[in-house]
Structure 1
Amino acid sequence: MDTMLFRNSRRKLSQGLLFWREVGNGTPVVFLHGAWCDSSEWVSTMELISRNFHCFAPDLLGFGESEYPDIHHAIDLQVDCLVEFLQALKLEKVYLVGHSLGAWIAASCALKYPERVQGLVLVSPEGVEIDGQQKRWQTMRRLIKGPSLIFRFLQVFRPLAKMFGWETKIEEDLQQRRILLENPTATQLLYQRQYPEIEAELLQEKLDLIQIPVLVLQGGKDTPDALTRSKIYARLTPQAELKMIAHGEDDLPQSCASIVAEEIRGFLNKGQ
């Protein structure tokens, strides 16, 4: 079977330049990446369904090859940017497939612009409140805001930390801090805004208003928090179905692309 060619494009929108990948023909499907990735995480999945569907995967504003404007980022801003992108491409109604942060944006878009969204596939979705969420927000803020000198000190004194059994925790914190600093927009959206602002954009009180088909995909070996969020989406959204990928972890679009593609294809074919 011939491989379909990807097209890379850029478009100036009101908030900045947006980059996207595009492949295939047919019903339009827009893929939104997770917090610590860009649109490349969807390439394998898109290749597998592009014979029957016209796939678009933008780098969200402030991610990947899209512009990094000096603005206050918010979920609602990402939603409006997404809809402006759909308008620019003359896509009247689409399926949205989102992973993690992208799933939060996709579900928020379906709530704000229901006339634009035909169905949702939410992969390990963020965007609902769970126990301990505010405590994790505080922990991440400490990692971001902590003076770099402290973290350099921790790196130098790793051998001493090992003696006291602190090595694993210190290594986890240093790795998490690296990820946060390398992904400034995701870090701002999830952890650097004030908690009441983030809380106002959470969706658990609004999911009953989503009146379109929804498929929730969740890796069985992901974190307990991720499993809890997916179950909340499935329980509170009227037409939602939860499917577990037993061996999947937190990177389903990459590690389980063929299974994810098959589930997406089956969901989309039901709606045709």
Structure 2
Amino acid sequence: MGVLFRNSRRKLSQGLLFWLEVGEGTPVVFLHGAWHDSSQWVSVMDLLAENIHCLTPDLLGFGESESPNIHHSIDLQVECISELIEALKLEKVYLVGDSLGGWIAASYALKYPEKTNGLVLLEPEGVGIKGQENSWQKEQKLFNCPPLIFKILRLLAPLIKLIGWEKRISENLQLRQKLLQYSTACQLLFNRQALEIEAELLHNRLYSLEVPCLILQGGQDTPNALDKSHNYARLIPKVDFKIIAHGENNLPESCAGVVAEYIRDFVQENC
């Protein structure tokens, strides 16, 4: 890492927000994914800091930002980002979002097009795809399952191994640990009323997105992630869709150099 990052905190109407900041020039706000915090973007920002003013907050309920006991929603996250941008006196910004951060970034651009220069979305959430409801229901059950059930499963480990369920149970236990670590992400993605989540999905609104958009998707990512990115690319009017052939998930960390180059070119082309 060749540059010095600045750590900052500000009290907003919904709670204290923490962010990392580096560089000077065109302001770009980076929003992290569901199972991450602002550190996800450090490698990319380090490569862009020479001529881009990079900021990446921990979303409300993540990382070092406050976790207030409130009902979380995509719109609430959008308003927190809007309040932060306004507090920093940034008139217009580029937004870069990964996964959940992509959903929030696109929602911000739809609500505040006059404050958005452009979007870069990496494997974004926020559109419906076939089979998504089943996936959400499985994760919801794992997240809300009483801890006693998993204690019993551990006690029954010899029997589980004998009947060949060891791998499946182990995968579910690992997934549950991740879900419990990111409870706010769970609430935003699947642990709310289905009608509320549906109302915040973007597939019926992306056609009205006015700002230029670049979508980056790993070619080795899951079929669900690929389907979501293709849906975004199909629905957004001004869009450039790039597949990073060797990329899996978590492009900001696994393909930082490629991602940084795409972002730099996009910002320069749309300034």
Q: TM-score range by the shorter chain?
A: over 0.9
User: Residues 159-198 of structure 1: matches in 2 within 5 Å?
Assistant: 159-198=158-197
Distance 2:117 2:222 in 1: 30
- SS where residue 161 of structure 2 aligns? helix
Question: 8 Å contact 1:215–1:267 — kept in the other structure?
Answer: yes
Displacement of 1:187 in angstroms is: 1.1
Displacement of 1:163 in angstroms is: 2.4
Displacement of 1:158 in angstroms is: 2.7
Aligned residues: 271
Distance 1:124 1:159 in 2: 39
User: Residues 42-191 of structure 1: matches in 2 within 5 Å?
Assistant: 42-191=41-190
Deviations 1:215-270 (A, max 9, x none): 10011111100000000001110111111111111111011101110111111111
Aligned position for 1:34: 33
Aligned position for 2:261: 262
Distance 1:231 1:158 in 2: 41
Gaps of 5+ in 2: none
Displacement of 1:192 in angstroms is: 1.4
Distance 1:271 1:133 in 2: 34
Displacement of 1:30 in angstroms is: 0.2
- SS where residue 71 of structure 2 aligns? coil
Aligned position for 1:206: 205
Counterpart AA for 2:248: E
Gaps of 5+ in 1: none
Runs of 4+ in 1 over 3 A off after TM superposition: none
Percent sequence identity over matched residues?
62
Distance 1:77 1:145 in 2: 23
Aligned position for 2:2: 3
Distance 2:15 2:101 in 1: 18
Aligned position for 1:222: 221
- SS where residue 230 of structure 2 aligns? helix
Displacement of 1:171 in angstroms is: 1.1
TM, length-normalised to structure 2: 0.98
Question: 8 Å contact 1:103–1:126 — kept in the other structure?
Answer: yes
Displacement of 1:157 in angstroms is: 2.3
Counterpart AA for 1:203: L
Aligned position for 2:24: 25
Displacement of 1:6 in angstroms is: 0.7
TM, length-normalised to structure 1: 0.97
Which range moves more in the overlay, 147-156 or 233-242?
147-156
- Calculate the aligned-residue CA RMSD, in Å: 1.0
